Amino acid sequence: MNVDYAALKKGGFMRQKQKNCFSLRLKVVGGHLSAAQLSAIAAVSEKYGEGYVHLTSRQGVEIPFIKTDDIDEVKTALGEGGCEPGVCGPRVRTVTACQGKEICPSGCIDTYGLANEISERFFAMDLPHKFKFGVTGCRNNCLKAEENDIGIKGGTEVKWLFDKCIHCGVCESICRTKAVSFEGDRLILNEDKCNFCGRCAKACPADAWECEEGFIVSFGGLFGNRIHKGEELLPIIHDKEVLFRVIDAAVRYFKENGLPGERFRVTIERTGQDKFEKVIREAYYG
Amino acid sequence: MADIKTDEYVDITDVVCPVTFVKAKIAIEELEPGQILCVHMNDGEPVQNVPRSMKEEGHRVLKLYKNDDGTYDLIVEKGEE
């Protein structure tokens, strides 16, 4: 029997050391799985695997020990349970996310919603090499935005409201970058120091802040053989349309300039960071 | 905290989140509306969360004092029942 390993890999089947066995990677967006999906996964691992799953480092699920002959049956069983296979190889991988502002008190943006939008637009898109997106809700960075080829971090831009302020001093005390200070009854916000964490507004007992959520984007992160922290090359983005314009431009840049087997960071370095920055700045300013 | 007279004092530096707020909440429930509680707390999670939680429970945060040893004193007026 001829096995098309490339096609299987594209469909999330990772060849194992054990003959005729595959570890089946599933599509999971932002680490979110329903109970029904988990039941289907459990049933498949019991029936076709060895009764366990592997949780991957990027919030995915793999079912090891799926036999070559069972692949079609397994796909059908998973499909009926609302699960889709994931992908491997040179393309856009699982989009990861923390729970974001819908769940987490620290969250500044709806990470899960955004991860789904990114996934719908880019998941499995063929590119010169693997390409990872990660969305984290705030400065706490539980999702490690900068280790992704494109990382998105939620931020909050704040404006102080004199009329509501009771001058209790909570914001000044909790600001980690010392961006907040008082001169008499006036609050001084040092914009150079503010890192958009939003803690001042979240802790304020008087709601004396006007908040605008935003996205802080980092480009070219690597966390494998080589480690490079993704770089923030643009100001905070408030408009989702602008965010997607920037992401589209970055992905297009990689598609057009990347060599096969070359990670995004390496493409940026080889072609010149100035050139890349110019492209995304043009996208940012429209 | 010289300029505000307080009726009661509670030290929550000996407990960790989420018991910090529970201890502060129990203390303020002992008071009558309009009375003032001083909550002595550590830096970090308590100062981030307790003032806002107090407000969400319907009390009025008056002031937060930073002490020389890195702790804080939060002055809260009990709200109406």
Nearest-Å Rg of the Cα atoms of chain A is 22
Residues of chain A with CATH 3.30.70.3340: 5-80
B4, B42, B55: which to substitute to probe chain A, counting the most A Cβ within 10 Å? B55
Q: Which residue has the higher pLDDT, A64 or A1?
A: A64
Written as one letter, the residue type at A152 is I
Smallest Cα distance from A106 to chain B, Å: 10
Q: pTM of this prediction?
A: 0.88
A166, A168, A178: which to substitute to probe chain B, counting the most B Cβ within 10 Å? A168
Residues of chain A with CATH 3.30.413.10: 96-154+213-285
If one counts every other C-beta atom within 10 angstroms of the C-beta of residue B61, the result is 22
For the residues A60-65, what does the mean pLDDT come to?
97
Nearest CA in chain B to A171: B48
Kindly tell me the burial class for residue A10, based on how many C-beta atoms sit within 10 Å of its own C-beta (0-12, 13-18, 19 or more).
middle
Tens of pLDDT, residue by residue over A102-143, are 999 889 999 999 999 999 999 999 999 999 999 999 999 999
pLDDT of res. B28:
95
Name chain A contacts of B63, Cβ cutoff 8 Å: 167-169
H/E stretch holding A199 = helix A199-203
For the residues A157-179, what does the mean pLDDT come to?
93
For the residues A218-238, what does the mean pLDDT come to?
97
Query: B1 pLDDT exceeds 50?
Result: no
CA angle, residues A195, A196, A202, in degrees to nearest 5 = 125
H/E stretch holding A64 = strand A61-67
User: What are the phi and psi torsion angles at A70 (to 5°)?
Assistant: -95, 0
Report the DSSP pairing between strands A133-136 and A96-97: parallel
For the residues B1-26, what does the mean pLDDT come to?
88
**Rounded Cα gap, residues B74 and B81, in angstroms:** 20
Tokens of A164: 């509501």
A-contacting residues in B 12-41 (Cβ below 8 Å): none
Confidence bin at A43 (pLDDT 50/70/90): very high
Least confident of A4-8, A76-80, A275-279, B39-43: A4-8
H/E stretch holding B60 = strand B60-66
**Rounded Cα gap, residues A253 and A275, in angstroms:** 10
Confidence bin at A173 (pLDDT 50/70/90): confident
Q: Nearest CB to B52: which of A166, A169, A203? A: A203
Q: Which of B1, B10, B17, B62 is catalytic?
A: B17
Separation in Å, CA B4 to CA A105, A166, A234, B7, B78: 31, 14, 46, 10, 14
Tens of pLDDT, residue by residue over B65-74, are 989 998 999 9
**Rounded Cα gap, residues B55 and A132, in angstroms:** 41
Q: Max Cα separation, chain B? A: 35
Query: A18 pLDDT exceeds 90?
Result: yes
H/E stretch holding A188 = strand A186-189
A-contacting residues in B 37-76 (Cβ below 8 Å): 43, 47-49, 51-52, 54-55, 60-66, 72
Q: Nearest CB to A169: which of B43, B55, B63? A: B63
The ranges assigned to domains in chain B are: 8-77
Nearest CA in chain B to A208: B52
Cis preceding linkage at B18, omega within 30: yes
Q: What percent of chain A clears pLDDT 90, i.e. is strictly above it?
A: 89
A140, A165, A171, A173: which to substitute to probe chain B, counting the most B Cβ within 10 Å? A173
Cβ contact B37:B76 at 8 Å: yes
Task: Select from 3.60.40.10, 3.40.1110.10, 3.30.70.3340, 3.40.50.300 the CATH code of A5-80.
Answer: 3.30.70.3340
Smallest Cα distance from A91 to chain B, Å: 41
Q: Each residue of B42-55: b (16+ CB within 10 Å) or e?
A: bbeebbbbbbbbbb
Cβ contact A200:A175 at 8 Å: yes
Task: Select from 3.30.460.10, 3.30.110.40, 3.30.70.270, 3.30.70.20 the CATH code of B8-77.
Answer: 3.30.110.40
For the residues A231-248, what does the mean pLDDT come to?
97
The CATH number of A96-154+213-285 is 3.30.413.10
Query: A222 pLDDT exceeds 90?
Result: yes
Smallest Cα distance from A235 to chain B, Å: 27
Residue A22's DSSP bridge partners are A15, A66
Name chain A contacts of B43, Cβ cutoff 8 Å: 173
Tokens of A235: 């100001």
pLDDT of res. A2:
63
Report the DSSP pairing between strands A96-97 and A61-67: unpaired
pLDDT of res. B48:
85
Query: Would the CB atoms of B72 and A173 count as touching at under 8 Å?
Result: yes
B-contacting residues in A 58-117 (Cβ below 8 Å): 105
pLDDT of res. A1:
54
What does the mean pLDDT of chain B come to?
Answer: 90
Number of helices (H), then strands (E), in chain A: 9, 13
Name chain B contacts of A205, Cβ cutoff 8 Å: 51-52, 54-55, 60-61
**Rounded Cα gap, residues A221 and A110, in angstroms:** 22
Query: Would the CB atoms of A206 and B62 count as touching at under 8 Å?
Result: no
For the residues A223-238, what does the mean pLDDT come to?
97
